[in-house]
Every structure is written in C-alpha cells, then in structure tokens.
C-alpha cells in the first residue's frame, strides 16, 4: 500500500465531492487535518469483516469487492465504486464493525477520514445529515433491487443489467459510443460482482459476445451501446 500526503489541489477537488461539499469550511479543515490518501494494487485486502471501524473510506478510482460471510457460512458479494463513502451504515451507529471484508478488485485510490469527527459534523449539520441519509436510503434500495432482480430475471438478463450499471458508473466511452471498464478483470471477478459462478459467467459472457451485447478481450470488458441494451432488455 502506498500512502502519501494530500496536497492543496487534491483537497480542493475533494471539497466538491458529495460527502464534503455540505461541510462548513471549519468542519472540512478539521476533517482534512488527518485525512490520508492511499494507492493499493488489485487483490489487496483493505479492511476485514468484524474489525472495528475508526475510519471511513472515500473511493476515488477503482472498485472494492465486499465479501460478507453470514453465520451459516454463506458468502455474499457486493462492490463499491468511485464517489462512494464506505461504510455509510457506521455513521448513525456507535461501536460498529465492518460487515464485510473489502478487497481491491482493481488498482485502487481512496482517502480515509476520521469516523468520530464525521459523525459529530453530521449530527450538527442538517444539510450534511440529509445528504448522508439520502445515500443510505439509495444504497439500501440498490441492495433490495438486486435481491428482487435475482428472483425475477434470468441469469443473462441480471448479468446484463449489473454489468451495464457498472459500465455506466465507471466506464469510459470509446469512439463508437461503447463503454469500457478502465481496468482489466477476470471471469472470477465478474462472477463475484454478479453473484454467480465462474462457469456460468464464462458461458454467459460467451453468449453475450456472440449476441453483440459486449466484448471481452484480454480481460477488458466493453459494453456495446450500453444504454440501448438496458432499454431493450428491461
């Protein structure tokens, strides 16, 4: 893990982000005082399930895989992408712990901030509290929608939607208007994101490639006419 000090230019960019823009100047100055910047390589674990939470993570670039293990030994996978603060659930709670293990699914850039200070400012700043609660609600709805989709849609349709949403969130447009993920991935990584097996993912990717819905070359995923695909399927 590479850690470096945060310069003034980076602070100015961070100040504009969703979870910082509603802070007062005095509050942001306190938050930024012990803010740390990190760069990690794909595959590195950045926090573990059950560990106490003292810092919040603001993802700048890349993707974090969340691996949650329940009491029966079942695994559940989610992901956190750029512009997200994690874990939001820790903000309204005391003595909270990580509900999942976080692993870099790609090369990753993030900053961390002091949880206690942020909790204090959320309690004192109604505008910031409103922003945080809206995003907690959005995150809960995303989990609920994903669970509903797993029961309503077939495997292929569900994979198209998850990968399309991931491409819309993180992808970069090429000259043909297609969205390409800005990092290399694998069938195993994509299977975890989509909540399926590697074998099912490999078979589905092959079928979707033949249908002209996506391209997967040299571990590089590109969604073809992503918006149109979502409208056609859903």
pLDDT the model gives residue 230: 46
Among 36-50, 67-81, 108-122, 189-203, name the one with the lowest average pLDDT: 67-81
pLDDT tens digits, 22-80: 999 999 999 999 999 999 999 999 999 999 999 999 999 888 988 888 887 777 778 88
Read off φ and ψ for residue 172, nearest 5 degrees.
Answer: -120, 135
Name the most confidently modeled range: 29-43, 134-148, 213-227. 29-43
Greater confidence (147 vs 179) lies with: 179
At residue 233, the pLDDT reads 46
**Can you say whether residue 88 is alpha, beta or left, with left for phi > 0 and alpha for psi between -120 and 50 degrees?**
alpha
The tokens describing 115, both together, are 């949880």
Rounded average pLDDT over 79-96: 86
Topology at the third CATH level for domain 2-150? Jelly Rolls (2.60.120)
Residue 26: predicted pLDDT:
95
Can you give the pLDDT at residue 234? Answer: 43
Residue 2: pLDDT band (50, 70, 90) is: low
> Contact 82/170 with Cβ under 8 angstroms?
yes
Residues sharing a CB contact under 8 Å with residue 138, sequence separation 6 or more, in sequence order: none
pTM, full prediction: 0.76
pLDDT at 123: 94
Q: Per-residue pLDDT averaged across 139-162, rounded?
A: 72
The answer to whether the 2-150 and 153-233 domains have the same CATH topology is no
Q: Is a pLDDT exceeding 60 seen at residue 227?
A: no
Query: Where in the chain are the domains?
Result: 2-150, 153-233
Query: Percent of the chain at pLDDT above 90?
Result: 41
Q: Which residue has the higher pLDDT, 226 or 174?
A: 174
Report the mean per-residue pLDDT for the chain. 85
Instruction: Choose the weakest-confidence range: 36-50, 129-143, 146-160.
Output: 146-160
CATH 1.10.10.10 fits 153-233, yes or no: yes
Comparing 168 with 103, the larger pLDDT belongs to 103
User: 35-62 in b/e burial notation, b at 16+ Cβ within 10 A?
Assistant: bebbbbebeeebbeeeeebebbbbbbbb
């Amino acid at each position: 893990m590479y850690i470096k000090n945060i310069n003034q230019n980076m602070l100015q960019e961070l100040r504009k982000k969703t979870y910082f823009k509603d802070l007062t100047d005095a509050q942001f100055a306190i938050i930024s005082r012990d803010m740390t910047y990190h760069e990690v390589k794909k595959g590195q674990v950045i926090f573990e399930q059950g560990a106490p939470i003292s810092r919040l993570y603001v993802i700048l670039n890349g993707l974090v895989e969340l691996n949650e293990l329940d009491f029966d030994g079942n695994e559940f996978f989610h992901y956190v992408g750029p512009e997200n603060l994690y874990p939001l659930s820790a903000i309204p709670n005391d003595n909270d712990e990580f509900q999942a293990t976080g692993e870099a699914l790609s090369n990753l850039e993030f900053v961390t901030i002091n949880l206690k200070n942020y909790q204090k400012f959320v309690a004192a700043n109604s505008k910031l509290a409103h922003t945080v609660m809206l995003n907690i609600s959005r995150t809960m709805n995303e989990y609920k929608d994903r669970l509903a989709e797993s029961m309503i849609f077939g495997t292929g349709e569900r994979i198209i939607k998850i990968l399309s949403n991931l491409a819309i969130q993180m992808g970069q447009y090429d000259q043909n208007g297609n969205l390409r993920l800005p990092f290399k991935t694998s069938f195993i990584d994509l299977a975890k994101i989509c909540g399926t097996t590697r074998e099912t993912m490999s078979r589905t990717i092959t079928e979707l490639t033949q249908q002209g819905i996506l391209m997967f070359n040299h571990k590089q995923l590109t969604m073809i006419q992503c918006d149109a695909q979502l409208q056609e399927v859903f």
